[in-house]
Amino acid sequence: MYPVWEVPHLTAGMILGLIATFHMMPVYLSTSAMWFAIWLESRSVREGRPDLMDFVRRYARLVLIFSYVFGALSGVGIWFAATVAAPRAISGLIHNYVWGWATEWVFFLIEIAAIYVYYYTIDKVDAKTHLKIGGIFALASWTTMIVIVGILTFMLTPGRWPSTGAFFDGFFNETYWPQLLLRTTSMFAVGGAYVLAVAASGKNERVRVEVVRAGSVLGLAGIGLGGLSFLWYSSSLPDPIRSNLAALMTPGLRGGMIYPTALLALLFAIFAAKPGAARPWAGAAALALVFSGIWSFERTRELIRKPYVIPNYMYSNQIIGGDVPSKGVSSELDRINDKGILRLAAFVPDELRTVTDANRLRAGRMVALIECSACHSLQDKGLRPLPERIRRLGATGPDDVASVLDSLGGIPYMPPFAGTADEKRALAEYLLSISK
């Protein structure tokens, strides 16, 4: 076990989610933008319209700076936050998908080289060569999505991997193709929002009107096809995940997916019909709606895989709860229940490894940090605050709280308590103390 990263009120997972949601903005831009840029550049060549290249240049500059400076920095932020928030989960993913990550990084390097070459050779090489450079970038960028989606969906539906441990049994799982199609179609809706943001500030009225209309149509198509893909994706979810969705989907998250998408579609429809009315505020509004929609979708995707971070293998608190014989991995629950989580976890102060009357509350807090803080705030306010949850249960003594801890394994989205009877009692007394 690794040290626990405690983030008061928010939890470590929320910090990771915020960074990841921001990261999706430049990622979706990089995977969608060049397809539109290639189409517009081809039209510029075909129709003899060099004026269209002004937008292509500005759009490529946005990709270069936003996707490969801010996007790259937020990508590093994800790795850093994920490593300290869920180090065992990241270790498990790397050990199982190291060649998948390596493949993704190779294509990422191709992306970086291609976008620099594409941007700095505008008007410096012949059109045919320049379009080929753009095509290389577009294909490389989409290939990174193909690889990453396999790893993301593995963390939700690992397929036959728990029984076989095979790379492709986990990679090509039951939700892989629906989610790949969903993200591919949605990226064009996001790309349309960026087209609106860049084109609305253009000075050439003719180009501005044409590009805003084309970007709005692209965005509408992405939303329409994305909606159909979402239906397929939803139908591919296994029954336990559907149950979690019904139990954990809050009105805020549901509205956060529906309303921003509907408003973005309305915005695209307005500017597809009246592109001359587009102004810079429209692009800013479109990107704000995109961020809100991505945040709600990604939060929901994280919620529905509970109580696991990797289903049937590792719980959200990073305790291994399933056997993977092909990998030589066995559940830790029996050993932890026998020896104690405080004795087995590496980063526990020596004076807390054995529960005594003198350290009971401190030991209970340490157990809460290890087993609960990944999803719950230990403070009175914040994300799923434990003090408020205990008050809601009406617990009046440690025995009441201990009985709740005993029942956790029967709740589909909660991992079971792992530890000795003394540790359970210490945790119960600590939770009762912070609820008062």
In a domain, 94, yes or no: yes
Q: Among residues 278, 311, 344, which one ends one of the domains? A: 311
271, two tokens: 């500017």
Which CATH number is 106's domain given? 1.20.1630
Nearest to 268, CA basis, from 199, 214, 228: 214
Question: Looking at residues 40-58, what average pLDDT do you find?
Answer: 94
Which helix (H) or strand (E) segment holds residue 62: the answer is: helix 52-62
Q: Among residues 267, 282, 311, which one ends one of the domains? A: 311
The pLDDT-based confidence of 41 (bands split at 50, 70, 90) is very high
Measured distance CA(63)–CA(391) in Å, rounded: 50
How are beta strands 314-315 and 308-310 bridged, if at all?
antiparallel
User: Structure pTM?
Assistant: 0.91
Backbone angles phi, psi at 309, to 5 degrees: -100, -30
Q: What is the pLDDT of residues 310-319, one digit of tens each?
A: 988 999 999 9
Looking at the structure, do residues 166 and 233 belong to the same domain, yes or no?
yes
In a domain, 121, yes or no: yes
Looking at the structure, do residues 111 and 238 belong to the same domain, yes or no?
yes
pLDDT of residue 412: 87
What CA–CA distances, in Å, run from 2 to 161, 305, 319, 408? Answer: 25, 22, 11, 23
Looking at the structure, do residues 228 and 133 belong to the same domain, yes or no?
yes
Q: Which of 1-10, 161-170, 219-228, 261-270 has the lowest mean pLDDT?
A: 1-10
pLDDT of residue 244: 86
Q: What's the mean pLDDT when you consider all of the chain?
A: 93
**Domain residue limits at 17:** 12-311
pLDDT of residue 436: 84
| Range list of H helices, 63-160 | 71-85, 87-120, 127-154
Which CATH number is 425's domain given? 1.10.760
119, two tokens: 């941007």
The pLDDT-based confidence of 257 (bands split at 50, 70, 90) is very high
Looking at the structure, do residues 118 and 209 belong to the same domain, yes or no?
yes
The answer to whether residue 1 scores a pLDDT higher than 60 is no
Looking at the structure, do residues 136 and 24 belong to the same domain, yes or no?
yes
Q: What is the pLDDT of residues 145-201, one digit of tens each?
A: 999 999 999 999 999 998 888 999 999 999 999 999 999 999 999 999 999 999 988
Amino acid identity for residue 398 in this structure: P
Q: What is the pLDDT of residues 23-38, one digit of tens each?
A: 999 999 999 999 999 9
Domains identified in the chain, total number? 2
Per-residue exposure over 395-432, b if at least 16 CB sit within 10 Å of its own CB, e if not: beebeebbebbeeeeeeebbbbbbbbeebbbbbbbbbb
168, two tokens: 């492709």
* % of the chain beyond a pLDDT of 90: 78
Looking at the structure, do residues 147 and 68 belong to the same domain, yes or no?
yes
Nearest to 31, CA basis, from 107, 122, 130: 107
